[in-house]
Structure 1
Amino acid sequence: MSERSRGPLDGLRVVDMSTTLMGPYAGLLLAQLGADVIKVERPGGDIARQIGDRSGVGLGECYVNFNRGKRSVVLDVSNASDADLLDEMIADADVFSHNLRPSTARKLGLSYDSLAPSSPRLVYCSMHGFDQRGPWRDKPAYDDTIQAAAGIAAMQGGSKGEPPAYVKTPMADKTVGVFAVAAILAALHEREASGLGQEVSVPMFETMAAFTAMEQQGGTVFDPPQGSYGYARMDSPHRRPYQTADGYLAVLVYTDRQWENFFSYIEKPDLIADERFRTIGRRTENIDELYALVADALPAQSTEEWLRVFDQIDIPATPIMNISEVITSPQSLASELFEVVDHPVLGPLRQPGMPITFSRTPPAPATPAALLGADTAAVRNQLGRFGRTIPRLADQSADCDHYQGVCHDLT
């Protein structure tokens, strides 16, 4: 890799005013792809800085992963001088992103309509809870509430009377962050033809509802409906890691050939011609019984023995790994998925890198997450604002309420 290579987005400048996880994840991906991402924080800093902050310097365990590769600038947007500086930063950028509620963005003079006249090429990305055309447009939202509203929590509970449950990762935050990156890149591509920027709005509820409905709509995809919602294979109580003689194993027998191989191996070749299991449609209708056959067969051998068998008969199977095992797995090590980063304050960190590869413009490893306001002076000087007062670190514990609801009015 060339020492000068920053990645395919080298030269792109992003001003990111988002906090917590959703917006920062989008900013992280852009930074990992080579963009210059300037993270604008209030004097108190992104609230995520305090999650698992063992060092006490505002570099918590989530923050350092979600905010690599970014410069940190502290601005008090309720102050006219800092608000002017933010306007200059945005005018100098290709992209401005935030996860403020749209009503709050308007109050702060940061709506697209306010910024576009002086920055016609600006790609403006807002990530918020709900589409502005709906009655929930002003409701606050977080990952848990969106998992509930978009059908994800109910889906985890299943259709057989189990209580709803959340996916144990901020699935909505991270998925919407990826959608935001796609929207930003699409708008940048269109700008090459038109010369004009535009606003892209990425609502959490609509994004996750569409994401979930793809396979979960079931028979309700037809109008009028020809069956109930849901996807039988996903809803089966037997779709789970299977117990082996000494542990658990994930295996998915799926195609006709895979089922033929599996039935032959467990010495039940008569099931190959069984009308219940001959086609994927019939297997889906009888999925509970089919998966129960797998669950009954696996305790006969150890996890390692089954892994060897499934490799031989070409059926996807993997061991059940925790995050520590994922990091040290032979596959992760060979693909260099996790990078060891020497943080100037925290010391060595092992962090997820960019999983995508590029043949000509490979991204450089993202720089470590910055201390709050570490780049404020440099950015001010870049814009020629030498005379402005740089917020003192001692002032950065100010009450969030002072900032016109910015903190409380995030998505």
Structure 2
Amino acid sequence: MLLQGLKVVEMATWVAGPSAAAVLADWGADVVKVESPIGDATRVYYPDTPEAPNPVFTNENRGKKGVKLDISKPEGREALKALLRQADIFITNVRPGSLKRAGLDYETLKAECPRLIYGAVTGYGLVGPEADTPAFDMTAFWTRSGVAHATIPPDQEPFPSRPGFGDHVTALATVSGILAALHERHTTGRGRLVESSLLRAGAYTVSWDLAIQLRYGEVTTAQPRDDRPGPITGFFRTKDERWLLLLPRTLDCFTQLMIALDRPEVLAEPRYEPPVADQQSVREIRAICDEAFAGMTLEEVGARLTAADLAWAPMGTLADLAQAPFAHDAGCFEMVDDGWGRMFPLPASPARFPEGAPPVNRPAPKLGEHTREVLEAAGLTPDEIAAVL
């Protein structure tokens, strides 16, 4: 079913690499997570005790088997190669220079493992002077790619993205590339290198703006609210101090909104006939909308906007989402073992298979939990395993 029988070895830390492997595990692949003796950094991001299990590490590593190897030593490197010889896919976000020095780069491994699909998750790619530059999603995906600049209005102090925001986008790109290479291997019998980077994922994420920049040499991105060109596009605050986002789909949405807000007289003003190009008129319309929204509760105005078939959404919190029936209907959550024998909800991977899929409930591994079991299955002798341990 789905990816069952597919063997994946992951040697990665933090988020983008482990998350890509976690999606494959969710879809049924047999994933072995290889960690150094000190473990993945996210193990200590939160405590992991029976009273307070670690939700971050579990989210990125559920359903995997855990192996502890010291690849700075020959025994550790040889044990990893033994795993890779049996694997279909290798996912790593170790920096390219370190992999090459350890003899674990793609060019070195492909002769020994010709069917291996090698998923390299990087900050800035595998070539050029930035290839070994350390990166997080907040640095490469959010800040350096232009995503932050395009998102944050110039009258606001810059702020970082939320943790893992760009990592998870990059993870999905990694999974997509790996599955494309897997499909090709059915025909060729050969693996290949699949490269994803935080920078490239960021560029793709903001590619509407970037396409305009590339075509015309300039682009207008986030602006102060008073300078934005769309009079009825954006956030508005209601009487009960709630925010909602309104996004018109057609020119007719302006008419429907004015009727919904009990301001039909606005439609008779020639200066307000859409599309409105004059910025002063835009500000006047926005002020009319601000006043109307401020006179109604979110429930009241929401009923009107819905009746008018307008595209809108209340600004929700994570607490709202966790309890929302529509989020549960959409399959946003999975019940997963916390590693201490209890089940708790975690975010689901962003695709589901209504006609049946492997269960997503296995815990994340303890550090080195399955080392002996996995190495025995890879064919290492008791003496070789003892040397690794």
User: TM class, shorter-chain normalised?
Assistant: 0.7 to 0.9
C-alpha separation between the residues in 2 aligned to 1:338 and 1:278? 42
SS of 2:32's partner is: strand
SS of 2:133's partner is: coil
The reply to whether residue 246 of structure 1 matches residue 240 of structure 2 is yes
C-alpha separation between the residues in 1 aligned to 2:109 and 2:219? 46
The match for 2:221 among 230, 234, 244 is 230
C-alpha separation between the residues in 2 aligned to 1:301 and 1:67? 45
Task: Show CA shifts across 1:389-411 (max 9, x none).
Answer: 2866xxxxxxxxxxxxxxxxxxx
Deviates more, 1:356-365 or 1:20-29: 356-365
**Structure 1 residues 16 and 320, CA, compared in 2 at 3 Å: closer, same or farther?**
same
How far residue 166 of structure 1 moved from its aligned partner, in angstroms, is 1.9
The reply to whether residue 278 of structure 1 matches residue 271 of structure 2 is no
Do 1:251 and 1:315's aligned partners in 2 also have CA atoms closer than 8 Å?
A: no
How far residue 262 of structure 1 moved from its aligned partner, in angstroms, is 0.5
The match for 1:363 among 353, 358, 365 is 358
C-alpha separation between the residues in 2 aligned to 1:83 and 1:379? 15
Do 2:260 and 2:305's aligned partners in 1 also have CA atoms closer than 8 Å?
A: no
Q: Tell me the equivalent position of 2:193.
A: 199
Q: Tell me the equivalent position of 1:38.
A: 32
Equivalences for residues 163-312 of structure 1 within 5 A: 163-212=157-206, 214-217=207-210, 219-223=212-216, 225=217, 227-230=218-221, 236=228, 241-255=235-249, 256-272=251-267, 274=270, 277-279=273-275, 282=277, 290-312=285-307
Task: Show CA shifts across 1:194-234 (max 9, x none).
Answer: 2211101112213212322x2223753325x3x54426699
How far residue 171 of structure 1 moved from its aligned partner, in angstroms, is 2.0
Do 2:4 and 2:29's aligned partners in 1 also have CA atoms closer than 8 Å?
A: yes
Deviates more, 1:103-112 or 1:358-367: 358-367
Q: Tell me the equivalent position of 1:375.
A: 370
**Structure 1 residues 282 and 231, CA, compared in 2 at 3 Å: closer, same or farther?**
farther
**Structure 1 residues 339 and 202, CA, compared in 2 at 3 Å: closer, same or farther?**
closer
Structural RMSD (CA): 2.9
Deviates more, 1:45-54 or 1:309-318: 309-318
Count of residue pairs brought into register by the alignment:
381
Do 1:152 and 1:166's aligned partners in 2 also have CA atoms closer than 8 Å?
A: no
The reply to whether residue 326 of structure 1 matches residue 317 of structure 2 is no
The reply to whether residue 118 of structure 1 matches residue 109 of structure 2 is no
C-alpha separation between the residues in 1 aligned to 2:201 and 2:152? 21
SS of 2:357's partner is: coil
The percentage of aligned residue pairs carrying the same residue is 27
SS of 1:162's partner is: coil
C-alpha separation between the residues in 1 aligned to 2:287 and 2:330? 35
C-alpha separation between the residues in 1 aligned to 2:107 and 2:284? 58
Q: What amino acid does structure 2 have at the position aligned with 1:222? A: R
How far residue 261 of structure 1 moved from its aligned partner, in angstroms, is 0.9
**Structure 1 residues 157 and 353, CA, compared in 2 at 3 Å: closer, same or farther?**
closer
Structure 1: gaps spanning 5 or more residues:
1-6, 393-411
C-alpha separation between the residues in 2 aligned to 1:171 and 1:361? 29
**Structure 1 residues 8 and 47, CA, compared in 2 at 3 Å: closer, same or farther?**
same
Superposition TM-score, scaled by structure 1 size: 0.83
How far residue 359 of structure 1 moved from its aligned partner, in angstroms, is 4.3
Greater relative contact order structure (CA < 8 Å, 6+ sep)? 1
Superposition TM-score, scaled by structure 2 size: 0.88
SS of 2:195's partner is: strand
The match for 2:58 among 45, 55, 64 is 64
Do 2:76 and 2:388's aligned partners in 1 also have CA atoms closer than 8 Å?
A: no
Do 1:276 and 1:283's aligned partners in 2 also have CA atoms closer than 8 Å?
A: no
C-alpha separation between the residues in 1 aligned to 2:94 and 2:81? 16
Q: What amino acid does structure 2 have at the position aligned with 1:300? A: G
**Structure 1 residues 290 and 185, CA, compared in 2 at 3 Å: closer, same or farther?**
farther
Equivalences for residues 25-174 of structure 1 within 5 A: 25-55=19-49, 60-146=54-140, 147-159=142-154, 161-174=155-168
Q: Tell me the equivalent position of 1:21.
A: 15
Do 1:218 and 1:229's aligned partners in 2 also have CA atoms closer than 8 Å?
A: no
Q: What amino acid does structure 2 have at the position aligned with 1:172? A: G
C-alpha separation between the residues in 2 aligned to 1:377 and 1:288? 68
**Structure 1 residues 247 and 73, CA, compared in 2 at 3 Å: closer, same or farther?**
same
C-alpha separation between the residues in 2 aligned to 1:287 and 1:82? 65
Q: Tell me the equivalent position of 1:347.
A: 342
Q: What amino acid does structure 2 have at the position aligned with 1:389? A: A
Q: Tell me the equivalent position of 1:408.
A: none
Deviates more, 1:229-238 or 1:129-138: 229-238
Structure 2: gaps spanning 5 or more residues:
none
